[in-house]
Structure 1
Amino acid sequence: MQNGTDLYALDIHGALFVKACGGNTHPDGESCVTLARIGDGAWALGDSKRPDAKPLRFTTEELGAAGIDPARFGLGA
């Protein structure tokens, strides 16, 4: 398992980001986020409305605490 300081040392180049939409509707369209596995128990979470913004990094436990299930993106935990 990664800790918060190690997550940003992981290379995300070539990571496969998958998009999931739902929740509040953004004025420019549906609210969507992107998620990619970047290591064992490590994830990168991005904003589809801001593709140039750097994704935030989380552990599987942190995603779960935030109510984000990788299975919703078609990704296993």
Structure 2
Amino acid sequence: MLDGSELYTLEIDGASFVKACGGPCTEGCVTLARIGDDAWALGDSKRPDKEPLRFTTAELDAAGIDPARFGLSA
């Protein structure tokens, strides 16, 4: 399993981010992209200039974030 420092060495240029909105997308949406076998990048559609946070699959699960909600498989 990757640790926090290793997650941030993974390349995210060209990653396909998918939006999931909790309501009307006028408020901004969370974006998620797979960046490795056990690695994800989580961003904010209203702040695309900010570096996305990175998580392992286990960390996403612990936070209650299901990639299936984004149309992605874990």
Structure-2-length-normalised TM-score? 0.92
More strand by share: 1
Q: Partner of 1:16 in structure 2? A: 16
Q: How does 1:37-76 map to 2 (within 5 A)?
A: 37-76=34-73
Query: Which structure 2 segments of 5+ residues have no match?
Result: none
- Residue-pair matches, total: 74
Structure-1-length-normalised TM-score? 0.88
CA contact (8 A) 1:32 1:47 kept: yes
| Percent of aligned pairs with the same amino acid | 76
CA contact (8 A) 1:22 1:30 kept: no
- Give the Cα–Cα distance (whole angstroms) in 2 for the partners of residues 73 and 6 of structure 1: 24
Query: Which structure 1 segments of 5+ residues have no match?
Result: none
Moved over 6 A (4+): none
